[in-house]
Amino acid sequence: MGCQLQIKVTPLCTEKAWELFQVKLGRCMELPPDFKEIAKSMAGKCAGLPLAIAIVARSMKGVDDIFELRDALDDLEQYSIGEDDNVFRILEYSYNRLRDQRSKDCFLYCSLYPEEWKIDRHELITLFISKD
């Protein structure tokens, strides 16, 4: 793919994975104990993969209902992370967490572009946001 330098990224340790999860979750105050326990489990299910941690944490942003959080953990447990398909399984989880079809269509549309391609936001707005 034209790479000049390849860098091997190793999985994060449990502590660093949790720190990244909290940063991507974006909470400015301490999580309640029951939320924290579930969130730590979610971070652990990501097998230390930074992209997976970021995706899962961002999908939980703004979730205040403990039942919704537990459901999300249950869903995540179905997407076991293996060596060959780890990123794709988390992307599938992320896709399935999207709440409406328009967001899912936009997600799939953006996935068609090559890596590092700059997607024109006006094009996205025209295709997905401004249409009813």
pTM assigned to the model: 0.65
104 with 84, same domain: the answer is no
> 50: which residues sit within 8 A by CB, 6+ positions away?
9, 12, 20
CATH code, domain with 92? 1.10.8
For residue range 2-31, what is the model confidence (pLDDT) as tens digits?
A: 566 766 767 889 999 999 999 998 876 677
Which structural domain, as residue segments, surrounds residue 116?
99-132
User: Residue range 113-130: average pLDDT?
Assistant: 81
pLDDT band with cut points at 50, 70 and 90 for residue 89: confident
Contact 90, 51 (CB under 8 A): yes
Cα(70)–Cα(37) distance, integer angstroms: 10
Has residue 119 got a pLDDT over 80? Answer: yes
- Same domain? For 92 and 41 the reply is yes
Would you say residue 3 lies in a domain? no
Is the domain of 87 the same as that of 53?
A: yes
126 and 74 in one domain?
no
Shared domain check, 103 and 67: no
| Phi, psi (degrees; rounded to nearest 5) at 112 | -75, -20
What is the spatial distance between Cα 57 and Cα 59, in angstroms, rounded to a whole number?
Answer: 5
- CA 17-104-61 angle, to 5 degrees, is 35
User: What's the pLDDT tens digit per position in 42-85?
Assistant: 888 888 888 788 888 888 888 888 898 898 888 888 765 555 55
21, with CB counted inside 10 A (0-12, 13-18, 19+), is buried
